[in-house]
Chain A
């Protein structure tokens, strides 16, 4: 028995992903051949991903510096990327390591307290409070939630950019959102009481 399923929409997504992947592979090879400027579209495409990964772990004021460092390092080490199709996971790993290094450096030199800049606006304070709640979640959920909630990426986009399976992303988002709601609800309840 065969089933007739309309897969045109699925094919559309898949084609879009493949086209993008083909473009990325061409760009990566050009960069590896010495044309660093060919990295520009990849920088634009992956900036949000790297920013989200870094933001899920590092302090907000140092995020921009770490993100820039990640891309500079990526450009300097692009020759080490053996599989051009794996650029996303490669950048994601680099971002995680750079952030861990930065956090480790900070722990050995500075107090844990995050300094508040003078004149931080109330909306930003509220955003930082929610971000702090996300960072208290299990590690598996933090990154996915930040990519979804801050960087406004969809589940399939997160999977495509980070190399995670769509199933993992879906599970992380659902469980992460559930935990986050519970945590924020508890905080609100505590304040109300």
Chain B
């Protein structure tokens, strides 16, 4: 739909000259799959823009969703699903499963879309309780949202009992008295150390000066030792360098501890 009649010849020349100068600012769109995947598994509350580096919480929710999706595929006919995206199971799957299930190489998310997985965490203690899981999923399909944390575990009579909402319940691990109350500085350093080289590589990748320090705010879940959220702090809170470092630190695995969670800011010098 070219309509150069809007311009006289002189104006057209100016426009063309400026277009040539501004050419370096043109760029192509990022892959559509990236946007789609982020929109599908985005775990930000409604009304806020999803931040790609907030993958700590996302990983937990995705892990729960993957387990549900995988079991759903095994115990029931698939729901009338819209379209399905293959997602490789993240290493954090053991968050949801105490006895690791034989996870397939590629897991298909068969949950009804849109499903708000913001606060969803499903702990499946035993594979025998599929019928309860099926009921749960049927409920999920009806409501399209699931905000309760559901624990399925047999009691002393072998029956399944469920616990209440996520906000009020602490996972079993967090109540374990043998665990330390919280993390020590040594625990934190030991958990970050294996990732330090990878985090430093972000500096070279994004052209940062040698003495640049990127601070990342981590939120760690006591029950699992996994990172719930990782946010780069100012002045790197909006740039790609901060996001890169935060993405790396979000993979850290800390020892479990009794407290529900721990927040800390960890600096990485490039």
Contacts and interface: CB of A to CB of B under 8 A. Distances in A.
Contacts of A34: 82, 112-114
B101 interface: no
A126 interface: yes
B15 A76 contact: no
Could you tell me the dominant secondary structure of chain B's interface residues?
loop
Contacts of A174: 11
B22 interface: yes
Contact of A149 (B1, B15, B32, B240): B15
Nearest to A174: B11
Contacts of B3: 13, 154-156
Contact of A43 (B29, B50, B235): B29
B113 to A, nearest CB: 5
Instruction: Choose among B1, B42, B46, B52 the residue with the greatest number of A CB atoms under 10 Å from its CB.
Output: B1
B126 interface: no
Residue of B2, B22, B42, B209 contacting most chain A CB atoms (<10 Å): B22
Interface string B21-42: 1111111011010111011101
B240 A61 contact: yes
Contacts of B49: 69, 72-73, 98, 101
Contact of A130 (B21, B46, B207, B240): B21
A57 B50 CA distance: 20
B243 A65 contact: yes
A68 B35 contact: yes
B6 to A, nearest CB: 5
B34 A127 contact: no
A36 B39 contact: yes
A124 interface: yes
B105 interface: no
**A-B pairs with the 6 shortest C-beta distances?**
A109-B234, A75-B39, A47-B29, A110-B235, A124-B24, A118-B207
12 contacts: A13-B1, A36-B113, A65-B238, A67-B29, A72-B35, A72-B49, A75-B35, A79-B114, A105-B237, A105-B238, A124-B25, A181-B14
Given A40-B32, A118-B207, A154-B6, 15 more contacts: A35-B83, A39-B36, A44-B29, A62-B238, A62-B239, A65-B52, A73-B49, A119-B207, A127-B23, A127-B24, A149-B22, A150-B19, A152-B26, A174-B11, A177-B15
Interface of A: 13, 16, 33-37, 39-40, 43-44, 47, 51, 55, 60-62, 64-65, 67-69, 71-73, 75-76, 79, 98, 101-102, 105-106, 109-111, 117-119, 121, 123-124, 126-128, 130-131, 148-152, 154-157, 170, 173-174, 177, 180-181
